[in-house]
Structure 1
Amino acid sequence: MDTPRPYRSVLYIPGSKERALEKARTLPVDAIIFDLEDAVTPDAKVEARSTLAAALTEGGYGERAKIVRINALDTEWGIEDAKAVAKMEADAVLLPKVNNALDVQALADIVGDMPIWAMMESCHGIWNAMEIAAHPQVKGFVAGTNDLAKELNCRTRADRLPMMTSLQTMLLAARAHGVVAVDGVYNQFKDDEGLKAECEQGRDLGFDGKTLIHPAQVDVTNAAFSPSEAEIDLARRQIEAFEAVEASGQGVAVVDGKIVENLHVETAKKILAMASAIASL
């Protein structure tokens, strides 16, 4: 089994702010989205490219995944952003406003074989999620829940019921094609209880982690998307019981009154691998 890379906490950082770029080197996040789009004002967008490139060249971000979000290709900055990111010390480029696989290919034509992540934030994008995930360079999905809510004209609810079809459609496509899927942001960055509830919902749905707008959200999010001690203990006992039955060639494996099948063992091994990867960070 390949060693997984955790994506529990994925923090947006403005690509134009040197202090923020410096602070990001010290934060216990799994990944950073260095933003050239929404977090950068129009008059600072051109200079932000060189500011970010210098920070990434300097390094110091450790094992954190480094993802750069560019402006959409149909804006006045997008194409030059893409050309610049292709030369940066980044792990992936994040494309906003992805509507279909043709949008992904347009970026691939500029950045070469660089891994591509897609913002899933439009009705067209959600509807075409399967073809987007199937593109060979797409390695990650990021839910753009604020933009999506605007397009859907839905109300904001704590249970996110109006958004559930979109989130699950995105997850189905991601899982079908082995793509990382990261949940959208929680806007009330001082509301830890609300954040925790939304993180737990996202984890229950199957997301790998959550995008964040503030460092204060990191600890709650990391905890929510990490395997719990109870999950780790159960995973170990399931593997042990299944292997014992296999070795004896008799009966069926049972743990806590429940039958353990091969599919449960596969899930258990994934849990232990993720716990090990998190511990090594």
Structure 2
Amino acid sequence: MKFCSLLFVPADSEKKFAKARETGADGLILDLEDSVAPPVKAAARATLGGWIDASSGPRGWGFWVRINPFDSGLAMDDLAAVVRPGLDGILLPKSNGGQDVVRLGHCLDALEARAGMAPGHVKIIVVATETAPAMFALGSYAPAHPRLAALTWGAEDLAAVVGSTSNKDESGDWSAPYQLARSLCLMGASAAGVPALDTLYADFRDDDGLVRSCRQSRRDGFAGRLAIHPAQVAGIKRAFTPSPEDVALAHKVVAAFEANPGLGTIGIDGKMYDIPHLKLARRTLAAATEG
């Protein structure tokens, strides 16, 4: 399952869904939460079920659905409408911790059985920083639930909860509370042994800024990024795909350690490499293969 680029698509727009399918995104997240107004959520659910049915055959992208949060009273109706052959996963918003993944997992167990799906097929990505309690529970996703596929984070809902007038500082970077949320998401995902996905880059017209930001994300350890607009997909994929130079060095590091299995430190081209470098090299090669 690929997570380099996941594109949000409103679940009430067939035109946007058709366009999104042609972007090359690794996954489409059909959104029943924030991008669908309350009066049309029921209609969006029904339409979305038909799209999932029509997409149940072979395709090059994952079919994900962001449901409404548990405390909205809408989550079970969302799940009942979308858990069917063709669905790959659920994006769970406003999770308060690992217990919400367990709760969602129980729901999916029953709904998969009803739909005749293989047990455990539907995976879960968690938006892990949208509530105040969630910030104290980033370690609760480890050990990972069998359905847990990735963690991501969000700043807008957290800002509303804590009363921030802005989540950015004067330079346009995340202010301290949101840098903390981003870092804890990354650490929580690492503890659980699942990929961390960076949050949205809001300015979809700023291609250069997006690529710079994504390169920082990859540098810090994120495996991919969420996209808010089809135009962002290409830039995200480009930034998260290891360069030929990165791949060449990774091959050198792996080959050197394989040729010298008894060594913990190896010199290559005048630089010293140890076991953490070997792990990073293998991760680079895996990312290059997935790309």
Matched with 1:94 is 91
* One of 157, 179, 191 as aligned partner of 1:176: 191
Shift of 1:186: 1.1
- Measure, in 1, the Cα distance between the counterparts of 2:194 and 2:212: 24
Establish whether residue 156 from structure 1 lines up as the match of residue 168 from structure 2: yes
State yes or no: 1:73 paired with 2:70: yes
In structure 2, the residue matched to 1:142 is: 152
SS in structure 1 opposite 2:71? coil
1:215-252: CA deviation from partner (whole Å, max 9, x where unpaired): 11111111111111111011111122333344xx7996
- TM-score with structure 2 length normalisation? 0.85
Higher mean alpha-carbon deviation, 163-172 vs 139-148, is at: 139-148
Corresponding residue of 1:277? 290
**Residue in structure 2 matching 1:108, options 105, 113, 116:** 105
Distance 2:167 2:255 in 1: 47
Q: 1:132 aligns with which of 137, 141, 144?
A: 141
1:253 corresponds to: 266
2:52–2:84 CA contact under 8 A, matched in 1: no
Report SS of the residue matched to 2:152. strand
CA contact (8 A) 1:13 1:33 kept: yes
1:48 to 27, 31, 44: 44
CA distance in 2 between partners of 1:111 and 1:240 (Å)? 43
Counterparts of 2:198 and 2:187, CA distance in 1: 13
2:207 equivalent in structure 1:
192
* Residue in structure 2 matching 1:117, options 107, 117, 125: 125
List per-residue Cα deviations over 1:184-223 (Å, max 9, x = no partner). Answer: 1111111112212221222222111111110111111111
User: 1:14 & 1:8 partners in 2: Cα distance?
Assistant: 20
Instruction: Determine helix, strand or coil for the equivalent of 2:126.
Output: strand
Distance 2:132 2:85 in 1: 31
SS in 2 for 1:26: coil
CA offsets, 1:138-197, max 9 Å, x none? 222121122223334254133324221111111111111112211111111111122122
Find the residue that maps to 1:273 and give its secondary structure.
Answer: helix
Equivalence for 1:236 = 251
Q: Deviations over 1:57-84 (max 9, x none)?
A: 1116723122111011222422111222
Structure 2 CA distance for aligned equivalents of residues 144 and 175 of structure 1: 17
In the alignment, the residues of structure 1 paired with residue 235 and residue 103 of structure 2 have an alpha-carbon distance, to the nearest angstrom, of: 37
Unaligned runs of 5+ in 2: 110-119
Instruction: Quote the offset at 1:49 in angstroms.
Output: 1.4
Could you tell me which amino acid in structure 2 is paired with residue 213 of structure 1? I
**What SS does the aligned partner of 1:190 have?**
coil
Contact 1:25 1:61 (8 Å CA) reproduced? no
Q: Give aligned-pair identity as a percent.
A: 33
Q: 1:222 to 1:22 in 2, by over 3 A?
A: same
Distance 1:180 1:250, change over 3 A: closer
What 5-or-longer segments of structure 1 have no aligned partner?
A: none
RMSD, aligned α-carbons = 2.2
Q: Distance in 2 between matches of 1:47 and 1:134?
A: 37
CA shift for structure 1 position 27: 1.2
Structure 1 range deviating more: 133-142 or 35-44: 133-142
What is the TM-score when the length of structure 1 is the normalising length? 0.88
Number of the residue aligned with 2:114? none
Partners of 2:235 and 2:58 in 1: CA distance: 21
- Number of residue pairs matched by the alignment: 272
Alpha-carbon contact 2:264-2:275 (below 8 Å) kept = no
1:123 Cα deviation after fit: 2.3
